[in-house]
Structure 1
Amino acid sequence: MMQLESQVLNLDPTSQVLGQEPIILFGILLLVILVVPILFERLRLPALVGLVCSGIVLGPSGWHLFKPESLMMRLLSDLGLFYLMFIAGLEFKFQFFRQQKGCSLVFGSLTFTLPLILGTLGGRFFGLGWYGSILIGCLLASHSLLAYPIISRLGVLNNKAIAMTMGATVFSDIGSLLILSVCLSIVDHGAFNLNQIIRIFGSVIIYFMLVLVGFNWAVKEFLRRSGDDEGNKFLCVFLSVFMSVVIAQLMGLDTIVGFFVAGLAVNEAVGEGAVKEKLIFIGSVLFIPIFFMYLGLKIDLPVLFKGYNTIKLLLIIFVVLIASKFMASVLAKLLYRYKWQEILTIWSLSIPLVETTLAVVLAGYQSRLLSPEVLNSVIVLVLITATLGPWLTRLVAGDGVGLTGSIAPETSPIKSPYQESESGNPNLTIVVPVYNPQTQKHLIEMAALLANQSQGKILPLAIAHATSQMDTPQLEVAWQRSEKLLAKAIAQSQLLGAKAEPLLRIDDAFAPGICRAAREQKANLIIMGWGKRTGLRARLLGNVIDNVLWASHCPVAVARLVESPKRIQRILVPIENIVTPTLTAVQFAQTLADANQAQVTVLNVCVNEANRRQRRTGAIQVAARRSQLSQLVSKLTLANPPEVQVITHEDVAQAILQAARLYDLVVLPLTRNRTTPGGLAMSDITNELARQLTCSIIIFGEPQQNQKLVFSKRIPNQTITV
């Protein structure tokens, strides 16, 4: 009795109290999910690494605050795993598979079969049974496209090799999940039987046809008939997921397969939009991070480091993974004659193992086919590959110059009819949302300069925020305030000699109101004032500027002007990569410069390779970039072409900051990308520059690629399009 009391007294009182309160534990989970990913991303490490490490610290191997066997953690982690597999199917890009269908099937077979065979042999070498060894090969056969944002930013998605790799993802993932289902089914029935294998594969074929074809058609028909009601869309998607999982269980397939196939089934039916964004948002903000924390709880550090066998297993499966993926890439080179840079890039893209690998190893562990040592080793392997793969992609892809081969000759981008006036001359129509009187003056001045230069007009826009009731006193107050702001904007525009037409709109949200008004008025440009991210809602869901940048049909210039635009004499436009340069931003800057008789400089920073490769290649690389960038800028056929500079430096951001000291305005291009949560592909360099620059700044957001935009400036007998 005395011993028991002594042990209780020796317990950490904080851990004892916290561990008994589910509400406190859930609050700690939310705090970790909010803070840890931000810290690790600042360290340039994947957020999932930080979450797994947090699980180790807070779990049995650390503070003993969370227990992996607790009902709350098991429930939330299961939801996270299911959501992870569903989103993996929902985010798959079918266009890449269609573009390179044949090559994707061939490479998918290679990158799936080689790791499967070598991984199985490695498992047998380590002493595992046949089913456990097959699962080792199975979890190595898939890959996750963690480096997609990197290649998207480089603008090399249309490269044949990269498109092939993306198309092969669904083949390798489905193959891994099918073999997992077969192994688990055989274990459940207790014997290996040829008739049983045939029955399982027959069930799989029927299941895929039913879900991928039938559910896809049913969801599309329902969404087409139900209109734009988001609630109906959510219920339809969740019902499809539920039915898909139920049918998978009835056919003897693993539940994980049902969630993944359900994501594939509703993928194209849901399309890109608010429903898909919110579906991904719910999982990526809450359930999936908790799942990664749960993985950290499952890691037993004493077991991981207690002996040579666990380390040996980790080394074996890591070497098998790297070697088999490289062999598959080399075979693809022999078949399709890709360049070595392309081969190294697709090799780096196929290294990361995340969702399918974790699903396979957890299912194998729960069915007792895999031991705790294997589970620990695979979780560590996931952390290593999630860090190594994107790093290798950045290293071998470089600036993307060697990956510019397109899939096929592209058709000319469609030119929107609203971008030109009836006379054929592009007259700029500029929407200027007015809300903050402190920034309104400079925004109207900039819009007036651009409108006068292109013989266009300004549309000052005020949004009166309202709910469904049109008789509320708050709406009347908002209406009167909006009228005052518009009157002030019109008076200022007239003083500047610009044509202006006020717009007053009632809407339930500012960002959609701005985007809808711009679309209705066939605007070419939206100019907004700078806004800061304040509060938790803005950080998670984005502020008005984020939402306008994501949804607008035309370019958006977000300006932080420290002085009158009339005083701007020198403008700097940094181009981060020259594979898909944002020439519209250059044309915008030149139009503004011509209004002030100012000078524009287009700057590209070539990272100094002297310490990494060979010193003699530096001058050649700079000369090649300057020539390529000059040719691209010359295609704009501007009356006053900008100056082109290419410099070498070890740090791109610091080089731009040093150059910006001599300029009055820096235009930072931002390419919108709807494939990522939040929709904005703002690079780390752009973020750092936006924080540190002290001169005037314009974040220039462009619509998605493959759109022709007229930014216009009138030149005799010429119409400039980008």
Structure 2
Amino acid sequence: MVLVADLNFSLPFSNPVLIFASILFIILFAPILLNRIKIPQLIGLIIAGAIIGQNGMNLLERDSSVILFGTVGLLYIMFLAGLEIDMADFKKNKNKSIVFGLLTFSIPMILGIISGIYILGFGVLTSVLLASMFASHTLIAYPILSKMGVVKNKAVNIAVGGTVITDTLALLILAVIVAMSSGELTNDFWIRMGISILIFALTVIFGFPILGRWFFKRNEDNISQYIFVLAMVFLGAFLAEAAGIEAIIGAFLAGLALNKLIPLTSPLMNRIEFVGNALFIPFFLIGVGMLIDFRVFFSDIETIFVAAIMTLVATISKFLAAWITQKTYKFSAAQRDVIFGLSNAQAAATLAAILVGYNVILGVNEAGEPIRLLGESILNGTILMILVTCTIASFVAQRGASKLVLEENEESGEVEKEISGERILIPINYPDNIEELIHLGVTIKAKSAKNSLLALNIVPSDSEDETKEKYAKKLLNKASISAAATDNILTELIRYDSNVVNGITNVIKENKVSDIILGLHKKQEISDSFLGELTEGILRRSNVTALIYHSNQPLNTINRYIIVIPRNAEKEMGFAFWLLRVWNIGRNTGAKLVFYGSNDTLKYIQQVQLKFSLEAEFIDFEDWADFLIISRDLKADDALVVIMSRTNGVSFDPTMDKLPKYLNKYFNKNNYILLYPMQFDFDGKGYTKYGGTSLLNPLLEGVNNLENFGETVGRLFKKK
């Protein structure tokens, strides 16, 4: 038994339980207290770290545990940046990222070298290393943008891409200078570094996706998947260090490599963000704060002068890079603020450079003291620069993100009201496919609609067996847990009816359902009778968008979606709405969409693609009699989406009646979705429960006007 008298309360705390509890309370209360005076959470944690650290109240020591968790937090920020980036937009704007990366590297380098030589009076080697510190930056404001939901913005993608370029170049300069100072800068050095970096990049970019897809196919356990992701992050970071560059580059590339395997709407993504934002990233910020020594402000004039010059040069040069990028690509002031906020904070790479430079001894002076490449004044000045630049970056990034949110809401506020009636019904029958059905529902729905999912189980009304009702509740509870893991609320529905079709159609009417997802058991083949019963029953008696889903592997492991579209599909009333569902699959999973259809139909889809960065391909395919040709193009990790039609629909093709046989024989090893578009209401009028007549009418008119269709559907997709 441990008595109070036996506990050690001396400063700094040495009890591990007390240390961890203290940090948790800081993470909990520091942001709350400082938010009241409009200080961003990130700055609140840095200030709290300075107060409790060895240079403040000396409550906690910046020991190995703080450094360890802080390193995890830093790698987590870079990993999330690579994981959340819109890959289609990233590819589309890669040239802009390169331009910004070169600007945000070259401008600080030029100004840094000039100020180091002519203002601070340093040597050329010291000035170059100092300038490389200005050129690098840390995405310390990225969590702010992530919480505000603007990480998909073009400006964020460009800034993140530019970060990798400038940090890589800055850290390469650091390696070269260290090699020069130690006399190791030989031809062997360049050959060794070039080969090691190439091997590292190829291993992460091509090897990690293969390994990740293999693992996710064979392991559905949530904990195992999360541990696997963490292991890949640190493996990428270690491989980067082994190649002679900083670990943050490896973490970012690991995020890019796993980007398509961890969709934004998946439970795994929710867990990754939660753990990082709750624990690891705050640890990193507190650890940065512990480095700050406020006493330097009052004790050393030289340090203050050096810190002021360093901060001014770093801030002005980063702003110039963001301003030139804004003017070059005609960005808004809010987008410029976001780019500047992301690129101004000096932390991780800067700390690496200053510590390496400080430890490089060039010789000794007359007093026998070591002459360092970067002296004490630069070391202390760097710490103050980190505090100021992180503060500026957080405030500016938060201001820019707030403006971007308002701009996006103004653009799509009216549409959001019109599409607020989204309701997706998922009948639940088998425990094996519940998670995949919920995952598909989350993938196709609007991101802002957190409570649009409904799960249904039909209990025979003539049955007196209570176990069936208990089993139904158990299935629905499992569905609710799966939805909650993605931060969505699911409504559980139990229907007592002797006829399954009647039960489902009545629920559709009563709850004004817009979409229904019908799942096939993993071992069940789709039969003529099954499809016939649905056609005669649910599909004929309801006018909603219907998806019949067969799952053979997890959604996140799908590489491409092959979408086969019948002739005249654009003339169906539900054309734009099923296109929205397919579009959301591509955007939320990162998978490539390959559309097979007639030229007339593909033109409308291409009009929408012009307005959004989505990886898509269009292939002319008009004769459904040759449907089996599709099987030659379908690979192991591809999924098939077939756009169907009711028999009285304008896009109906007789080949659709043969699809059950085709799917069972040639496509059963792949995921597939049979998608039936929304139809007219029972009285023959347009369907107005979902979309509203103000949005539906221009959509119908748009089939005669390509540009109008693209603009109207673009408005619909904007908020989605």
Q: How high is the TM-score relative to the length of structure 1? A: 0.52
Residue number among 166, 172, 177 corresponding to 1:172 in the alignment: 166
Residue number among 262, 265, 283 corresponding to 2:257 in the alignment: 265
Question: 2:66 maps to which residue?
Answer: 73
1:304/1:373 contact within 8 Å kept: no
**Partners of 1:123 and 1:137 in 2: how far apart?**
8
Question: 2:395 maps to which residue?
Answer: 388
Residue number among 146, 160, 172 corresponding to 2:141 in the alignment: 146
Residue number among 254, 267, 280 corresponding to 1:274 in the alignment: 267
Deviation at 1:218, TM superposition (A): 2.9
* Structure 1 SS opposite 2:475: strand
**Partners of 2:9 and 2:473 in 1: how far apart?**
59
Deviation at 1:337, TM superposition (A): 4.9
2:140/2:390 contact within 8 Å kept: no
Question: 1:717 maps to which residue?
Answer: 685
Give the partner amino acid of 1:261. Answer: L
Question: 1:374 maps to which residue?
Answer: 381
Distance 1:109 1:404, change over 3 A: farther
Question: 2:43 maps to which residue?
Answer: 49
Distance 1:155 1:461, change over 3 A: same
Question: 1:295 maps to which residue?
Answer: 288
Deviation at 1:199, TM superposition (A): 3.4
**Partners of 2:347 and 2:681 in 1: how far apart?**
49
Give the partner amino acid of 1:19. Answer: F
* Structure 2 SS opposite 1:16: coil
Question: 1:446 maps to which residue?
Answer: none
2:344/2:389 contact within 8 Å kept: no
Deviations 1:104-144 (A, max 9, x none): 22222112221233234334443455555444333433353
Matched, 1:233 2:230: no
Deviation at 1:322, TM superposition (A): 3.1
Distance 1:36 1:166, change over 3 A: same
* Structure 1 SS opposite 2:281: helix
Question: 2:623 maps to which residue?
Answer: none
Residue number among 21, 29, 53 corresponding to 1:27 in the alignment: 21
Matched, 1:505 2:512: no
Q: What is the root-mean-square deviation in Å for CA atoms of aligned residues?
A: 5.3
Distance 1:18 1:311, change over 3 A: closer
**Partners of 1:336 and 1:17 in 2: how far apart?**
54
The 5 A counterparts of 1:609-648 are none
Distance 1:38 1:711, change over 3 A: farther
Deviation at 1:77, TM superposition (A): 3.3
Q: How high is the TM-score relative to the length of structure 2? A: 0.53
Give the partner amino acid of 2:260. Answer: E
Give the partner amino acid of 2:393. Answer: A
**Partners of 2:267 and 2:456 in 1: how far apart?**
24
Question: 2:307 maps to which residue?
Answer: 314
Deviation at 1:167, TM superposition (A): 4.0
1:429/1:524 contact within 8 Å kept: no
2:150/2:405 contact within 8 Å kept: no
Distance 1:167 1:61, change over 3 A: closer
Deviation at 1:191, TM superposition (A): 4.1
**Partners of 1:360 and 1:246 in 2: how far apart?**
18
Question: 1:61 maps to which residue?
Answer: 55
Deviation at 1:16, TM superposition (A): 1.5
**Partners of 2:294 and 2:58 in 1: how far apart?**
13
Residue number among 106, 112, 123 corresponding to 1:119 in the alignment: 112
**Partners of 1:509 and 1:358 in 2: how far apart?**
47
**Partners of 1:376 and 1:231 in 2: how far apart?**
38
2:236/2:247 contact within 8 Å kept: no
* Structure 1 SS opposite 2:344: coil
**Partners of 1:223 and 1:716 in 2: how far apart?**
46
Deviations 1:526-576 (A, max 9, x none): 99xxxxxxxxxxxxxxxxxxxxxxxx99xxxxxxxxxxxxxxxxxxxxxxx
**Partners of 2:509 and 2:115 in 1: how far apart?**
59
Deviations 1:600-656 (A, max 9, x none): xxxxxxxxxxxxxxxxxxxxxxxxxxxxxxxxxxxxxxxxxxxxxxxxxxxxxxxxx
Distance 1:361 1:35, change over 3 A: farther
Q: Gaps (5+ residues) in structure 2?
A: 1-6, 361-371, 429-452, 460-464, 484-488, 495-499, 518-586, 590-611, 615-676, 692-715
* Structure 2 SS opposite 1:507: helix
**Partners of 2:680 and 2:304 in 1: how far apart?**
63
Q: Say how many residue pairs are matched.
A: 465
**Partners of 2:510 and 2:316 in 1: how far apart?**
51
1:51/1:289 contact within 8 Å kept: yes
Distance 1:230 1:181, change over 3 A: farther
Deviations 1:215-245 (A, max 9, x none): 2333234434x25333443344344344434
Give the partner amino acid of 2:200. Answer: Y
**Partners of 2:408 and 2:427 in 1: how far apart?**
37
Q: Gaps (5+ residues) in structure 1?
A: 1-12, 406-411, 420-425, 434-457, 465-475, 484-501, 528-551, 554-672, 676-703
Matched, 1:212 2:205: yes
1:77/1:294 contact within 8 Å kept: yes
Question: 1:562 maps to which residue?
Answer: none
1:430/1:526 contact within 8 Å kept: no
Deviation at 1:312, TM superposition (A): 2.2
**Partners of 1:26 and 1:35 in 2: how far apart?**
14
Distance 1:179 1:30, change over 3 A: same
The 5 A counterparts of 1:388-467 are 388-393=395-400, 399-400=406-407
Question: 1:569 maps to which residue?
Answer: none
